[in-house]
Structure 1
Amino acid sequence: MTELSPARAVALDILLELEESGAYARDALDASPAVRELDRRDAGLVTRLVLGVVATYGCLDELIDTYCDKPGRMNARIRNALRIATFEALYLGTESRVVVSQGVELVRSRAKSAAGFANAVLRRVCEDKDRYLDALDMPAGSERSLTSLARQGGLPLWLTDEFLASLGSDRARHLVEAQLEPAPVAAYLNPRDERALAEVAQAVEDSGAADEGGTGLPGCVAPVAAAQLVASDVLRRGGAVVCDSHAQLIAAAAVHGGTCLEVGAGRGTKTFVMAALAQRCGIECSAVALELSKKRTRLNRRRMERAGLADEIRFITGDGCNLERSLARLDEQAGECVRFDSVFVDAPCSGTGTMRRHPEIPWRLIPQDIEEDLPELQFELLSQAARCVRAGGQLLYATCSVLRQENEGVVDAFLASDAGRGFTLVPVSTAPLFQRDDFAQAVSYVQAREDARGMFQSVPALDAFDGHFCARLIRSR
């Protein structure tokens, strides 16, 4: 009898836990004592299997169910064991004999009587995997091409179609090809922390990663080894923050002398980058970090206080869709409706530019999210924020999505509305901070990813880092 590998057994335990709790895969992996007890190689395999199954389970189930008479009656233990083996067959290139033998033992460990069933299913999976990925079961033509592309990335068919419509064929294919690859990690340094550079430089050396190509943003370091960075003290004390390189560029575009309102500050990742950039460049500014969640507001304040960057920031819990109420106390203290030199809307979105980091995204989204719910919310946030921009000030709208409906669609709807009157779309690369000589490389990087109207869009795989969107608007009156 084949001995079951400990990594696969732990992966199955975690997947069953996720099915019961609805937690996020990365959180479950980070919290698992069983993963920490494994050696580095096995721990890495557990991570790959768990994240991969979560990211592709719709396609895995589609193939598995092809060989089952009553798929709806399969219990979670057997299904998740088969998912692990099928993921290895389709997306890891594991040898068929290993897929079958380990998959059968995985099923046997949870349901002995189902071992024969698992053997039959997995043999068929291995025989038909290429046919499935190439969508040879579909009619030749565009339908087969779309289905094959979706299956290659383990993605829902409708979402793959949206990527093609939003990005075009070449960029969409790059996105899909990157879907199951690990995303590089970047950090931004706190200029007030003298030790941070040396510690993060060590994490870069330990990463062993090929040079991903930098964005040229002063203070950005990438790629770094996440485990080594977490193991050091630099993140805990606020010497650096983990933040995707493209997100850092967008935060840089929002830095402006004078006053800034950040709508959707979250736990303060971009708040940190903006404050650190202002400190690095000697820019005097004061900011308001607005966030709907009290918990996230509290976490943001603590992070910024530890970093020594909180002096000129006011932290407010409030709804970006009702800024009149959220900023009422600020207006009362000022004796007028406060207007800002820079307003930055970091909008909630589908997160389709960050699927490599968040494997739950593809199969939790539904078409209504993209077509109605998210764009409506994003438009309201942008419209509300527009009222807070002073004449001559800038308004930035950003997402970590690659979908047109959430990006250009929202911006165009805003410009065509009453709220958008008096605003002009200008290139992101013309933001104040990018006019400094030491940001020349960053400007070139941004310009290479701007469309004809100056809106920034990055795409995973085509670019090393995540997919982010940003539009910059100036209020003329």
Structure 2
Amino acid sequence: MTELSPARRVALDILLELDETGAYARDVLDASSEVRALERCDAGLAMRLVLGVAASYGCLDDLIDAFCDKPGRMNARIRNALRIAAFELIYLGTEPRAAVSQGVELVRTRAKSAAGFANFVLRRVAENRTLYLEAGDIRDVEERRLVALARQGGLPVWLVEEMVRSRGFTAVQDAVAAELEPAPVSAHMNPLDKTAEEELSALVGSARDVELEGEGAARHASSASTMRLPGAALGIPTARLVGTDLLRRGGVAVCDLNAQVIASAATMPGSCLEVGAGRGTKTFIMAAQAERFEMERETVALELSKKKSRLNRRRLERAGLAGAVHCVTGDGCNLDRTLAHIDERACERRLFESVFVDAPCSGTGTMRRHPEIPWRLLPEDVEEALPELQLALLTSAAERVKPGGQLVFATCSVLRQENEGVIESFLGSEAGRAFELAPVSSAPVFALPGFEDVMAYVREHEDARGMFQTIPALGAYDGHFCARLVRT
């Protein structure tokens, strides 16, 4: 009898917990004492299996169910054990004999009588891996091309179809190739923490502006390999960072490079309203950039969730960046009510030099980091619900922009409906007639010393109207969108 690896046993326990609780994979992994008790190699494998299965389970089930007489009657314990082995066979390229053997033993730990069934199913999965990934079961050539692309990334076909419609086949091909690979990690440094840079230097060799690596990054953005963003540290080894107290004390905030670029674009002297602050990562970056460049700045950071707003406030306080930031809880679609106490204090309806809408979205540019996204997302979310909410937030926020001020709209989506589509709808509305599109690269902050490379990078990723869009790829950072509008 083959000895079952501890990594696979732990992975199964966590996947069963995810099924029962609906929690997010990364949250459970971060809190798991079982993962922490594993040797480093085993812990890495367990995490890869959990995140991979969470990201691709729809595709895994398609192939598993093809060899089951009654797939609807399979219990969660057996199904998740089969998913782990199938993920290894289809996406990790594990040697078939080893993957099948380990999968059978994993099933045996939960249902001894099902070992023979597991052996049969997994052998068929191994035999049909190539046919499945190439969509050899699809006759129509164009449909086969699309289905194969979806299967190779472990994604729903409808979602890949939307992505291709938005960004073209080649760009989505690059994104799909990176879908099941770890995303590069970057962080932003707190300029008030005098030892943060030195400590990051010890982790990555150079704390400030480490160059992007990887063929995908170079092909996707030719200037990215030399682009330097003030305050950014790239190529962070996550496990080593967690072993320090940099995060706890607010010395750095982990944030994708392209998100840092957008947060920097929204930073300017004067008053700022941030709608959709979340846990405050971009709030942190804007405050850090303002401190770094000695900007006189006051921010109202608005978030619907009280819990997230509290987390934002606590991190800013630990970092020493809270002085000019007011964290407010409320609905961004009803700013008159949400900002009533601020208006009352100002004895007028408060307007701002800069309003930044970091809109809730599908997250399709960050699926490598959030594996639940593709299979929890629904077509009606991206066709109707999300664009309607985004437009409502943008329209509400527009009323709070001073004449001559900027309105910045951002998402972490690659879908046109949530990005250019929302901007076009806004500009065609009554509220939008008071605004004109301006290139993101013309944001005032990019005229400051040190942002020359960033300005060139942004221009490289702008469309003809100046809207900024990045797409994930191997070695490259996440997919983010940003549009900048100026009130006339």
TM-score range, shorter chain: over 0.9
SS of the residue corresponding to residue 354 of structure 2 reads strand
Whichever residue aligns with residue 48 of structure 1, its letter is: R
d(CA) in 1 for partners of 2:428, 2:264? 27
8 Å CA contact 1:206–1:228 kept in 2: the answer is no
Q: How has the CA–CA distance of structure 1 residues 462 and 430 changed in structure 2, closer, same or farther, with 3 Å as cutoff?
A: farther
SS of the residue corresponding to residue 417 of structure 2 reads coil
Pairing 1:341-420 to 2, within 5 Å after superposition: 341-420=353-432
Aligned residue in 2 for 1:53: 53
Partner deviation per Cα, 1:263-288 (whole Å, 9 max, x = no partner) = 01111100000000011011111111
d(CA) in 1 for partners of 2:412, 2:291? 26
Structure 1 position 269 matched with structure 2 position 271: no
Pairing 1:308-319 to 2, within 5 Å after superposition: 308-319=320-331
8 Å CA contact 1:215–1:245 kept in 2: the answer is no
Partner deviation per Cα, 1:62-121 (whole Å, 9 max, x = no partner) = 000000000000011110000000000000000110111111111111110000001111
d(CA) in 2 for partners of 1:201, 1:319? 41
Aligned residue in 1 for 2:43: 43
Partner deviation per Cα, 1:209-243 (whole Å, 9 max, x = no partner) = 98353641111000101121121111111111111
SS of the residue corresponding to residue 450 of structure 2 reads helix
Aligned residue in 2 for 1:339: 351
Whichever residue aligns with residue 213 of structure 2, its letter is: D
Q: How has the CA–CA distance of structure 1 residues 105 and 272 changed in structure 2, closer, same or farther, with 3 Å as cutoff?
A: same
Q: CA deviation at 1:206?
A: 10
8 Å CA contact 2:269–2:295 kept in 1: the answer is yes
Stretch of structure 1 that moved more, 213-222 or 11-20: 213-222
SS of the residue corresponding to residue 236 of structure 1 reads helix
Aligned residue in 2 for 1:211: 213
d(CA) in 2 for partners of 1:294, 1:96? 49
Count of residues in correspondence between the two structures = 476
Whichever residue aligns with residue 211 of structure 1, its letter is: E
d(CA) in 1 for partners of 2:211, 2:407? 37
Q: CA deviation at 1:140?
A: 3.7
Stretch of structure 1 that moved more, 418-427 or 376-385: 418-427
Aligned residue in 2 for 1:255: 267
8 Å CA contact 1:171–1:462 kept in 2: the answer is no
Q: How has the CA–CA distance of structure 1 residues 231 and 350 changed in structure 2, closer, same or farther, with 3 Å as cutoff?
A: same
Partner deviation per Cα, 1:5-56 (whole Å, 9 max, x = no partner) = 1111110111011100110001111111111111110000000000000000
Whichever residue aligns with residue 93 of structure 2, its letter is: G
8 Å CA contact 2:58–2:375 kept in 1: the answer is yes
8 Å CA contact 1:203–1:226 kept in 2: the answer is no
8 Å CA contact 2:63–2:125 kept in 1: the answer is yes
Pairing 1:401-440 to 2, within 5 Å after superposition: 401-440=413-452
Aligned residue in 2 for 1:111: 111
Q: How has the CA–CA distance of structure 1 residues 209 and 115 changed in structure 2, closer, same or farther, with 3 Å as cutoff?
A: farther
Any unmatched runs of 5+ in structure 1? none
8 Å CA contact 1:4–1:105 kept in 2: the answer is yes
Q: How has the CA–CA distance of structure 1 residues 363 and 206 changed in structure 2, closer, same or farther, with 3 Å as cutoff?
A: farther
d(CA) in 1 for partners of 2:474, 2:341? 45
Give me the TM-score of the superposition, normalised by structure 2: 0.96
d(CA) in 2 for partners of 1:381, 1:360? 25
d(CA) in 2 for partners of 1:335, 1:287? 18
Whichever residue aligns with residue 230 of structure 1, its letter is: V
Any unmatched runs of 5+ in structure 2? 215-224
8 Å CA contact 1:216–1:445 kept in 2: the answer is no
d(CA) in 1 for partners of 2:125, 2:211? 34
d(CA) in 1 for partners of 2:432, 2:449? 32
Let me know the Cα RMSD of the aligned residues: 1.4
Pairing 1:58-457 to 2, within 5 Å after superposition: 58-205=58-205, 211=213, 213=225, 215-457=227-469
Give me the TM-score of the superposition, normalised by structure 1: 0.98
